[in-house]
């Protein structure tokens, strides 16, 4: 396979003049990109993934036995599935869980396999080699994170990926570049998480955790802690779905709403954009079973939770429409020719006329947050630890210090707090369970500062400050408490 047909120099976007199995050389700037273990590294350490820090295959149960995902996608795509994928680019291949099916079952001219991690690509390449699927004429490997302009325009007929877009911070920019990469009439499809489904599932699990706590389980029980963490992780991404700066710090950045990602696809230049339900799991039994196993919840506890699921799922899961009863969507995009007709997003509910919560009393705010100010290695650090719960969903604790605003997300699981505050019965289960806040920030050089005036705000998802408290003084080496 001649990779000069697909790749260009990411430094100057010039064609590669020379291709060997050992290197690619830029025709203009003469930059050389070498192949190591059959993998061309265009990322070169400029991007990383936290998934490199775990045993990826063990965590996601990936083995040399191919999954049924390819056949599931073919069924979901129905008449959209082409007879040939032509020149194919796989983005975010990981260790090859889906690549096996592509290399064996799909009909195409050639396959270029990419991922941000060279480590994972090496495992993927070794896996294909073990299975006899590594044909150097048809399969090539390169590192790519969606940002390097290393792929030539119009060079691929098909782009595919599983669980990749939700790791990308700027989805719209990625899809725009995908339009550039595809040839006319090209297709792109991805398997990505469904936001409404996960919101319903996390609310269901939160109710089950609460039942277990009321039935004798201890808040310090390891299984309870693990399930609380799972609820909180999902809630955190839901709360901060539009906060790009915050999501940049997280490995999993997005979940998708069908009509929103479809509208984004049209805005980016695709002629069709569809979010299609795959592998429907209406009550969440299969999905939750996988998640509990990945979290390390013991088999007896997981069995008990799944037995309770049908009773509690009716509160949330049965409210989902048929197209929302799947943990994942098959996102299917096609690039047409000529003028693209832009499809506008479906109208959203009018939130401007929703009455605002008028302060802490109306929101039933309760909080206890320790604020410490310490001089560490010549710099002043502010540390916060505590909890806050209210009727509206809370997003941030904001501390304004010396003209700077520091934000700490409110999302950590606090089963100890839940067992107390929920006795009044006015808070949603998720709000009361995921009410913890903890973190630290560097205020600045503090060698001459003996005390600081701090203004605190507790912000809802809509950005409203429901604390409305007067500033307070914290001495260096001292502490203060925000309580309500």
Q: Return phi, psi of residue 262, to 5°.
A: -65, -45
Q: Is 362 exposed, middle or buried (0-12, 13-18, 19+ CB in 10 A)?
A: middle
Q: Please name which of 236, 467, 242 lies closest in space to residue 366, comparing C-alpha atoms.
A: 467
- Predicted local distance difference test score (pLDDT) of residue 465: 93
Are 308 and 243 a contacting pair, CB within 8 Å?
A: no
Are 316 and 200 a contacting pair, CB within 8 Å?
A: yes
- The structure tokens listed for 62 are 């990936």
- Predicted local distance difference test score (pLDDT) of residue 241: 83
DSSP-based three-state secondary structure for 465: strand
- Predicted local distance difference test score (pLDDT) of residue 345: 43
Q: CA-CA distance, 266 to 341, in Å (whole number)? A: 8
DSSP string for 386-407: EEEE-SSPEEEEEEEETTEEEE
Say which residue the tokens 């400029």 belong to: 46
Each residue's pLDDT tens digit, 104-154: 877 778 899 999 888 889 999 999 999 898 887 788 899 888 777 889 999
- The structure tokens listed for 67 are 């999954």
CB atoms within 10 A of CB 2: 10
Indicate the pTM of the whole model.
Answer: 0.82
Q: Is 151 exposed, middle or buried (0-12, 13-18, 19+ CB in 10 A)?
A: buried
Low-confidence residues in the chain, pLDDT < 70: 18-20, 45-54, 56-57, 59-61, 338-360, 422-425, 445-448
Each residue's pLDDT tens digit, 324-382: 999 999 999 999 875 444 444 444 444 334 344 456 677 889 999 999 988 887 788 89
């Amino acid at each position: 396979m001649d990779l000069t047909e697909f790749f260009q120099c990411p430094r100057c976007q010039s064609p590669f003049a020379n291709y060997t199995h050992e290197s690619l050389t830029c025709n203009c700037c003469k930059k050389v990109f070498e192949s190591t273990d059959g993998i061309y590294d265009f990322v070169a350490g400029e991007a990383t993934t936290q998934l490199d820090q775990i045993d990826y295959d063990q965590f996601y149960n990936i083995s040399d036995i191919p999954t049924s995902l390819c056949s599931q996608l073919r069924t979901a795509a129905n008449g959209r599935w082409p007879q040939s994928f032509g020149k194919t680019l796989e983005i975010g291949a990981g260790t090859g869980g889906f690549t096996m099916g592509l290399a064996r079952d799909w009909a195409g001219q050639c396959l270029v396999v990419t991922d941000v991690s060279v480590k994972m690509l090496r495992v993927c390449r070794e896996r294909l080699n073990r299975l006899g699927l590594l044909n150097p004429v048809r399969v090539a490997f390169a590192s790519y994170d969606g940002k390097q302009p290393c792929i030539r325009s119009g060079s691929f007929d098909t782009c595919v990926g599983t669980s990749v877009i939700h790791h990308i911070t700027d989805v719209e920019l990625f899809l725009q570049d995908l339009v550039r990469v595809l040839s006319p009439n090209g297709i792109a499809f991805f398997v990505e998480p469904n936001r409404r489904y996960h919101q319903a599932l996390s609310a269901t699990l939160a109710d089950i955790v609460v039942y277990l706590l009321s039935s004798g389980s201890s808040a310090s029980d390891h299984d309870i802690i693990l399930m609380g963490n799972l609820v909180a992780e999902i809630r955190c991404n839901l709360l901060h779905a539009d906060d790009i700066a915050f999501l940049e710090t997280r490995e999993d950045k997005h979940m998708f709403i069908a009509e929103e990602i479809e509208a984004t696809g049209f805005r980016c230049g695709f002629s069709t954009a569809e979010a299609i339900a795959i592998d429907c799991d209406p009550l969440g039994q299969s999905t939750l079973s996988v998640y509990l196993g990945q979290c390390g919840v013991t088999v007896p506890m997981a069995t008990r939770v799944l037995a309770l699921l049908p009773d509690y799922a009716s509160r949330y899961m049965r409210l989902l429409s048929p197209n929302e009863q799947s943990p994942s969507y098959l996102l299917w995009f096609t690039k047409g020719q000529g003028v693209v007709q832009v499809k506008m997003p479906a109208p959203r509910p009018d939130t401007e006329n929703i009455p605002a919560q008028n302060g802490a009393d109306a929101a039933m705010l309760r909080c206890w947050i320790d604020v410490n100010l310490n001089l560490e290695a010549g710099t002043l650090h502010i540390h916060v630890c505590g909890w806050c719960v209210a009727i509206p969903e809370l997003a941030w604790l904001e501390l304004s210090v010396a003209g700077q605003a520091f934000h700490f997300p409110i999302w950590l699981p606090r089963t100890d707090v839940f067992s107390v505050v929920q006795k009044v019965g006015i808070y949603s289960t998720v709000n009361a369970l995921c009410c913890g806040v903890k973190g630290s920030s560097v205020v600045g050089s503090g060698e001459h500062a003996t005390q600081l005036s701090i203004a605190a705000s507790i912000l809802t998802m809509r950005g409203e400050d429901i604390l409305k408290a007067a500033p307070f003084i914290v001495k260096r080496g001292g502490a203060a408490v925000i309580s309500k």
